[in-house]
Amino acid sequence: MKIKDLFETMEYGPAPENRDAADQWLDARQREFQLFINGEWAPPVSGKYFDTINPANKEFLARIAEGGPDDVGRAVAAARQALPHWAALSGHARARYLYALARQIQKHSRLFAVLESLDNGKPIRETRDIDIPLVARHFYHHAGWAQLRDTELAGYREVGVVGQIIPWNFPLLMLAWKIAPALAMGNTVVLKPAEYTPLTALLFAEICRSAGLPPGVVNVVTGAGETGAALTKHEGVDKIAFTGSTEVGRIIRKATAGSGKKLSLELGGKSPFIVFEDSDLDSVVEGVVDAIWFNQGQVCCAGSRLLAQESVAEKLYAKIRARMEKLRVGDPLDKSIDIGAIVAPVQLHTIEELVRKGVDEGVRLWQPSWACPAEGYFYPPTLFTEVSPAHVIAQEEIFGPVLVAMTFRTPAEAVQLANNTRYGLAASIWTDNINLALDIAPQVKAGTVWINCTNVFDAASGFGGYRESGFGREGGKEGLYEYVKQTEEDAFPDKPVVLKKAKPKAGKAG
């Protein structure tokens, strides 16, 4: 029997990851979590809590404190108090803390991975093999930068107290992208995790304690948008780092304008995945799986627009459909599944609404023949073909497992289609002709361009967007500049210059 035939006849058997340690961890804390302020657990002043649930089966996981403006104020004060000592430590001393955090994350990697899958709904294969290893790598990498700051970034110093607001799609990884460089450069932090996925940030807070991090260097204030807004507006914050939707990014930019706060925004995307006719289509199919079905498509840089050269488009679609039919959607803790649950009902609703718009516009939709599990928030992998650039689904970020496909004839047309969006986060180019790829790459307006691969990340490589995908970089040396300021700036006043409003000219309306 050929291996291929053997696979065809093999039955699917679930391979569930054991969740006992995660349940024990939650039970030992009576499934209730306070705010982490100044190295201590503190109840919220308002006494308010909210539930976090498992989106794969709607089970209650824990009650989480909802931080209000007073709590944000306490956390900012703690971070301010901790700042002089932390910033004055030698780079070597700060590095030792970062190494300790990295090692603790590795030590507890299985607990982190299971908690993340329970809280977010993403497959354990991804949390175990991608999220958590990258988190540890970020802390190790930035431990090195802590030691190098004074030589490699001579003439720069820490910004001060940093408010960091992160999303739910990569909860612990986004925490690492934010906290590791901030601490390495000598800043102290108030972190606001996303309301759907606070658990791994709370485990991380425990690890900060066990690693002996001085109190107040990292504070975690859980809550929803209002908690984030309070942090954004707080006068004691010197910088805001935000990852999330373009809509909220816009609100934060307005809220911080004129305040003198440094700002970095990592926002949405509608990234092109460009396939030329000479590429190896079987590799392309696996690339597509990684681009749009990784993390249920809830990835800001997901390759959500497939641009296929006309001569191979139908052949490619047929291969993609065959692959989609074989994808497994189900329990995130099952090591055999490819696609987990959508994080929350509101996100599922948004995906369903946008897909409906595509169908209403007459775009051709294809979904596999099988049904998703009924007990949680699941959505099947979806392919729209014969899409035109004017369709809503070609322009709006869907943030789900939905791929929209368009065709092009020439490389110039591919570039034009790729750039026909208000975003500019990432792009992926597939061809056997490296000269063609290198010719196209700089013409595509995106922070990251991958060639014959996609969703490849490393702590040493800066990531960030153009246009409505935001500004500022995370990772690499370039990412460090978000967390430092030139010492020369100390000679200038911190307060912004207030411009007087011009008086309207007499006789004119408005």
Catalytic residues: 266, 300
According to the binding rule CB under 6 A, does residue 251 interact with ligand ADP? yes
Residue nearest to ligand ADP (CB): 228
Of 194 and 289, the one with the shorter C-beta distance to ligand ADP is 194
Binding of residue 291 to ligand ADP (CB under 6 A)? no
- Answer yes or no whether residue 245 interacts with ligand ADP by CB under 6 A: yes
What one-letter code names the amino acid at 79? Answer: A
Q: How far apart are CA 180 and CA 425, in angstroms?
A: 22
The CA-based dihedral angle spanning residues 204, 208, 210, 215, taken in that order and rounded to the nearest 10 degrees: -140
User: Which residue number, 125 or 192, has a Cβ lying nearer to ligand ADP?
Assistant: 192
Piece of 142-150, 187-195, 204-212, 213-221 that binds ligand ADP (CB under 6 A): 187-195
Rounded Cα distance, 149 and 474, in Å: 16
Residue 252 interacts with ligand ADP (CB under 6 A)? Answer: yes
Cα–Cα distances in angstroms (integers) from residue 350 to residues 303, 338, 342, 401, 402, in the given order: 18, 22, 11, 12, 12
Q: CA 389, 427, 377 angle in degrees (round to 5)?
A: 75
Contact 406, 252 (CB under 8 A): no
Residue 229 within binding range of ligand ADP, rule CB under 6 A:
yes
Q: Which is nearer to ligand ADP, 287 or 472 (CB)?
A: 472
For residue 244, state whether it binds ligand ADP (rule: CB under 6 A): yes
Place of tokens 């299985």: 110
Which one of 73, 167, 340, 424 is in contact with ligand ADP (CB under 6 A)? 167
Within a 10 A sphere around the Cβ of 441, how many other Cβ atoms? 16
Applying CB under 6 A, which part among 23-31, 163-171, 352-360, 378-386 lies near ligand ADP? 163-171
Q: How far is the CB of 222 from ligand ADP (least distance, A)?
A: 9
Decide whether 165 or 275 has the Cβ nearer to ligand ADP: 165
Question: Residue type for 174, please?
Answer: M
Residue 308 host element (H or E): strand 305-309
The DSSP element (H or E) to which 196 belongs, if any, is none
Binding footprint of ligand ADP, residue count (CB under 6 A): 16
Nearest to ligand ADP of 56, 229 (CB atom): 229
Q: Which of 214, 215, 225, 476 lies at the binding interface for ligand ADP (CB under 6 A)? A: 225
State the Cα–Cα distance between residues 205 and 375, nearest whole angstrom. 32
CB 463 within 8 A of CB 480: no
The region of 42-50, 227-235, 287-295, 477-485 touching ligand ADP under the rule CB under 6 A is 227-235
In sequence order, which residues have a C-beta less than 8 Å from that of residue 64 and are 6 or more positions away? 33, 49, 50, 51, 52, 195, 198, 202, 222
Segment lying near ligand ADP (by CB under 6 A), choices 39-47, 248-256, 258-266, 283-291: 248-256
Which residues are near ligand ADP by CB under 6 A? 165-167, 192, 194-195, 224-225, 228-229, 232, 244-245, 248, 251-252
